[in-house]
Structure 1
C-alpha cells in the first residue's frame, strides 16, 4: 500500500474469481474505500492510514471484499441505483446513488454508462484531482485500453464508441490522475491519456 498522489492510497491484490491482481484505493481525506479487496497487509494496513467510513463501488461487479470490510469497520456501502442487485444475497444494504451525486466529501459520481448502465467514474477532488474508473477503461502499458472484446457484449465496437464519447465528456472535469480497477494508476499524466482515447460527440 502506498500513497500515489496527495491523499490517495493504492494497492493491488489477487482477485479470487479471475486470478489476476486488481487495484483498490483509499481516499484518505474522506475515509473512502473504492472497489476494495483486502490488501496483503489486511485491515491493519488500511487502518494505518485512516479508519474508513464508507465504501464506494464504480459498478455492481466490484463487490469484492465489501462484506469483510463492513464487518471490520462498519462502513456504509454506496453503489449506483441501477447496480444494487448483487447485494440481495449479502448481509449488506447498499445506499444507492445517482450520477451527479456527491457520494462522499469531495467525491462525485459521473456517468460513463457504456458496458453497464451503472458504469461510474468517480471525480476525486483532492490535490490535483483524479478520476476513478470501473471496467470501461484499463491501463494498457501506460495508455488507456479496453477490456477484451469477449467481455464487451454483443457489439464491442459500439461499446468502445460509447466509452470514447464518455472520455470526451470527462475531459471537462478537473483531474490529473487516472485510477483504474484493472491496472496501475496513471499519475499526473491522466489528462493526456484520456485525451488520446476520446472522440468528440
Structure 2
C-alpha cells in the first residue's frame, strides 16, 4: 500500500499529502481538514509516521470520509488505529467491508462545518465535502479533476456511471461558498475556485 512521506499545509487547518501511483500514472491526493478541535481525513492514503504526527498535533483525528467506490485506500487501517468512524454514501455499504461505518446522505452535516454533497452520475457513492472555514473549501472525490493532460475538468465519461447525470448534478456545488478546491487526483486550486467552476460548467 502506498505511503506518502509528508503533509503540505494549504491553509490553516487544511493539509494534503500525495503519492504517485505508477499503475494509474497519476498522483493520489488525500486531505486532512480541521473541524473545531478535531481532524477529519478524506480519502486517506497512508502517510509516514511524521506526517501522522503533523495531522494529529493539537487536534484528535476524529473521522474519515471515503468519497466513492474507488477510494477505500487506507480508510480501514485508520479507522482501526484511531477507533474512529468512516463516513461514506450508503450505496457503498454492501461492497465495502469497512469497520465503523456511518453513512452520510446529501446535505448531511457530519462534523462542525463539514457537509456531504452527493454527486450523482460519477463513480458509485460519489460525494464532495464542503468545509466552511477560512473562506470555504470544496474537497472533491473523482467528479472533478485537475491534472495533465486534462487540466481542470469533469471526470472523463468512460469513468462515470452516467456522465450526463453527473454534469447535471455538479451545479449544486455552486450553492456553497468556497475559495479553494482540493482533489483526489490533481493539484489544488488555492484561490478563485468557485469562479473557476462556474466558468467550467458554462462550457462543459
TM-score, normalising length: structure 2:
0.82
> In the comparison of the two structures, how many residue pairs are matched?
193
The 1:137–1:102 alpha-carbon spacing in structure 2 relative to 1, beyond 3 Å, is: same
Q: Which is worse superposed, 118-127 or 49-58?
A: 49-58
Measure the CA separation in 2 of the matches of 1:140 and 1:195. Answer: 19
Q: Which residue of 2 aligns with 1:145?
A: 153
Indicate whether 1:31 and 2:34 are aligned: no
SS at match of 2:198: helix
The offset of 1:164, in angstroms, is: 3.1
Indicate whether 1:166 and 2:174 are aligned: no
Q: Assess if the C-alpha contact under 8 Å between 1:31 and 1:52 holds in 2.
A: yes
Residues 89-142 of structure 1, C-alpha deviation per residue, up to 9 Å, x if partnerless?
Answer: x4x131111111101111011121122452111111111001111111101359
Measure the CA separation in 2 of the matches of 1:193 and 1:9. Answer: 21
Q: Which residue of 1 aligns with 2:3?
A: none
Q: Assess if the C-alpha contact under 8 Å between 2:39 and 2:55 holds in 1.
A: no
Q: Which residue of 2 aligns with 1:78?
A: 87
Measure the CA separation in 1 of the matches of 2:178 and 2:51. Answer: 30
Measure the CA separation in 2 of the matches of 1:23 and 1:133. Answer: 10
Measure the CA separation in 2 of the matches of 1:165 and 1:197. Answer: 13
Measure the CA separation in 2 of the matches of 1:15 and 1:87. Answer: 22
The offset of 1:32, in angstroms, is: 0.7
The offset of 1:50, in angstroms, is: 3.1
Measure the CA separation in 2 of the matches of 1:115 and 1:20. Answer: 19
Measure the CA separation in 1 of the matches of 2:140 and 2:94. Answer: 20
The 1:12–1:100 alpha-carbon spacing in structure 2 relative to 1, beyond 3 Å, is: same
Q: Which residue of 2 aligns with 1:95?
A: 102
Measure the CA separation in 1 of the matches of 2:70 and 2:95. Answer: 8
SS at match of 2:46: coil
Q: Which residue of 2 aligns with 1:61?
A: 70
The offset of 1:34, in angstroms, is: 0.8
The offset of 1:17, in angstroms, is: 6.2
Measure the CA separation in 2 of the matches of 1:105 and 1:152. Answer: 31
Q: Which residue of 2 aligns with 1:129?
A: 136
Q: Which residue of 1 aligns with 2:4?
A: none
Give the gaps of 5 or more residues in structure 2.
1-6
Which of 9, 30, 34 pairs up with 1:3? 9
